[in-house]
Structure formats: structure tokens, C-alpha cells
Amino acid sequence: METLGAAYADDTILMGKIQPILLALAGSVRSFIDDADLEVCLSKCKIYMSGIPKERAHQLILDCINADESGTLEILRPMLAHDLDVIKVQGLCVVGTPVGALQYIQEYVRSKCGFICKDVEQMRVC
């Protein structure tokens, strides 16, 4: 697959073509399980794929999983449940910083400024 993407898992960010990203993410998930008996909460992971509709991004990830003859990517299939909202196409927030389309970033900053202004107003004593 030639489609680019990024995966975010807490403090881990993977960037590049979607198939190697998914393989690295699946490998990390498997390592957490096998090496440390830890479980990765896949519903909190985010996969950002810009410039395509969400349904297309979902299908591309599903195609990668289905085409993986080794079965390595199968561990990621639960991420594709539509109610989990794992796939992002407009942008996402990484360590408090918006990443993505300009409109997404501007809306994020506008929203944060509104919260900060409201907090400052509430903190005024005089």
C-alpha cells in the first residue's frame, strides 16, 4: 500500500506508509502482551490518514489486515469497530498539539483560546 498514515499510541508516534505502520503497531501490541503481560487499549489508539474520507481510510486498513497472510495484523482488527472512533481523517491531538488539516488546527486553537479566556475571567478577583 502506498497510502501514508500515522498511528498514535500514548507516547508512541509512528509515521510512514500505512502497511508498515500497521505492522509496527501490531508488533508493539504483541510485544506488550508477550513480553510484559500488558494489554494495549486499542480503543485509545488513533490512526490519522489525511486527504481521504473516513470510510475509505477504514477500508484501506481493513484491506491491509485482510491481505496480511502472516496474520500479524489480525490483532488490530478490533480497532476497526466504528463506535471506537480510532480512525481520524481531519486531524488529531498529540501530546496537546493539534496535527492535521489547517481548519482542524484552527478550530482546536480557537476552542482552547475560548476555554482559557473563560478561565481567566473566572479567576478575576477585582
Assess contact for 37 and 53: CB atoms under 8 A. no
Amino acid 8: pLDDT: 57
Residues forming a β-bridge with 17: 4
Name beta bridge partners: 100: 91
Q: What is the pLDDT of residues 82-98, one digit of tens each?
A: 788 899 999 888 778 88
pLDDT score of 37: 85
* pLDDT in the model for residue 51: 86
pLDDT computed for residue 1 by the predictor: 60
| CA–CA dist 76, 105 (Å, integer) | 28
- pLDDT values of the chain reduced to their tens digit, one per residue, 126 residues: 667 766 655 667 788 899 999 999 999 999 989 988 888 888 888 898 988 999 999 999 999 999 999 999 999 999 998 788 899 999 888 778 888 889 989 999 998 888 888 878 887 765
Give the pLDDT of residue 125: 64
pTM for the structure as a whole: 0.74
The pLDDT value recorded for residue 57 is 94
Show me where the domains of the chain are located: 4-89, 93-126
